[in-house]
Amino acid sequence: MLRAISRSSDLLKGLQLTIVVNDLERIGDYSKNIRELIEWFPYRIDFGPKEKSFNELHVKLKSMFRGTREALAENDIKIARKVMKTYERVSKLCDNTIKNTISNSTKGDMVHRRELAIVLMMRYLKRVAGHLKNVCSSVVNPFHKIGFREG
């Protein structure tokens, strides 16, 4: 299944699987946070001028989920590397959107609901992407490097 698991003892396989399951659990936790954020808003969250960034992020995350599932199922290092590379772009997109939202706030010290939603959503989605990257690192890296870049 995983490169890191296939060359190890049963104990090591169990530890590696525990790491992967932990990342998958964290994705579930952040998904719950996203759902709660959406539920707490009395209306559809309007991302305004950041809508394009959000839509771009949505497309990238969908591809990361598909790629992660495929990389694990097929033990495909090439697909896992692609997901890990996509994370770098997602991370930058999220960070830039958050920085721009904070620096362009028109309310001074007051935070507009839209700005709050954008910052929280981008942060949660960045963390989801980070955990998908970590899962894919288990296909690419040996045990001691799971969760890190290749190399």
pLDDT mean across residues, the chain: 85
**Higher model confidence: residue 55 or residue 109?**
55
pLDDT exceeds cutoff 50 at 59: yes
The region of weakest confidence among 27-31, 73-77, 83-87 is 73-77
3-145 placed in CATH 1.20.58.220: yes
- pLDDT confidence of residue 8: 47
- Cα 38 from chain centroid (whole Å): 18
Rounded Cα–Cα distance for residues 34 and 50 (Å): 17
Q: Are 134 and 24 in contact (CB under 8 A)?
A: no
Query: How far, in Å, CA of 18 to CA of 33, rounded?
Result: 23
* pLDDT at position 2 over 60: no
Cβ–Cβ contacts within 10 Å for residue 64, how many? 23
Residue 143 has pLDDT above 80, yes or no: no
- Residue 6: the pLDDT is 52
pLDDT tens sequence across 101-130: 888 776 667 778 888 889 999 999 999 999
Please tell me the distance from the alpha carbon of residue 89 to that of residue 28, in angstroms, as a whole number: 22
Annotated domain spans of the chain: 3-145
pLDDT tens for 6-33 read 554 677 677 777 888 899 999 999 999 9
